[in-house]
C-alpha cells in the first residue's frame, strides 16, 4: 500500500521494522507498497549526515592541530591520539565521498578533486607520525 500521508504508523512506531519492510518491498519490486515520502526523507538525510560528520571531524582536527602548535607546553598523548584518529576518519570519509558518486559534495565544491591527494591541505589532514607534519605554519 502506497502511503501518501506525511508519515506511516509503522515508520513512527518501529523504525527498524519499517526499514526492513521497505527493503523487502524494494527487493520484491512491490513499488506500490513503498512508503515514498518517508523513504525520500531518509535518503536525503543520509547525504546530510555524511557532510555533517566530515565538517565536525575537520573542526576537531583543526582545533587540535592549532592547540598542538600554539600550546606546546600542554601537548599530551590524548591530543596526539585525537589528531591521528580524526585524520584517519577524515581521509576515510573523503575516500567514501569521492568513491560514491560523481555528484558528491566534494566534487560539487571542487570539481578538480579526483582522488584524496587532490584535496587542498591533504598533507595537513594525512600527517605522519608527527601531528604537525605538513601543517602550514610549521
What is the residue whose three cell numbers read 585525537? 82
pLDDT, residue 59, reads: 92
Enter the pTM of the model. Answer: 0.56
**Is 25 found in the same domain as 93?**
no
Q: Which residues are CB-contacts of 83 (< 8 A; sequence separation ≥ 6)?
A: 61, 64, 65, 68, 127, 131
Tens of pLDDT along 39-56?
988 888 877 788 789 889
**Is 118 found in the same domain as 55?**
yes
Provide the grid cell at 68: 598542538
DSSP state of 29: T
Listed ranges 26-40, 91-105, 124-138; the one with the highest mean pLDDT? 26-40
**Is 121 found in the same domain as 68?**
yes
Domain contains 40:
no
On the question of pLDDT at 20 being above 80, the answer is yes
Backbone angles phi, psi at 130, to 5 degrees: -85, 120
**Is 104 found in the same domain as 59?**
yes
Confidence of residue 109 (pLDDT cuts 50, 70, 90): low
Tens of pLDDT along 62-104?
999 999 989 999 999 999 999 989 988 988 888 777 766 545 5
For 84, the domain range is 47-126
Tell me the mean pLDDT in the region 31-41. 90
**Is 67 found in the same domain as 6?**
no
Distance CA 21, CA 1 (A): 12
Distance CA 132, CA 119 (A): 18
What is the total count of domains within the chain?
Answer: 2
Amino acid at each position: 500500500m502506497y502511503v501518501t500521508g506525511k508519515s506511516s504508523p509503522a515508520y513512527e512506531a518501529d523504525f527498524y521494522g519499517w526499514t526492513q519492510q521497505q527493503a523487502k518491498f524494494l527487493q520484491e519490486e512491490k513499488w506500490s507498497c513503498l512508503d515514498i515520502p518517508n523513504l525520500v526523507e531518509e535518503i536525503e538525510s543520509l547525504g546530510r549526515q555524511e557532510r555533517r560528520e566530515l565538517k565536525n571531524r575537520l573542526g576537531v582536527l583543526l582545533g587540535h592541530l592549532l592547540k598542538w602548535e600554539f600550546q606546546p607546553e600542554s601537548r599530551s598523548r590524548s591530543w596526539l591520539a585525537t589528531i591521528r584518529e580524526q585524520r584517519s576518519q577524515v581521509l576515510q570519509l573523503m575516500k567514501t565521498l569521492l568513491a560514491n558518486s560523481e555528484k558528491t559534495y566534494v566534487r560539487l565544491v571542487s570539481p578538480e578533486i579526483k582522488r584524496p591527494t587532490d584535496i587542498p591541505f591533504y598533507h595537513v589532514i594525512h600527517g605522519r607520525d608527527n601531528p604537525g607534519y605538513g601543517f602550514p605554519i610549521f
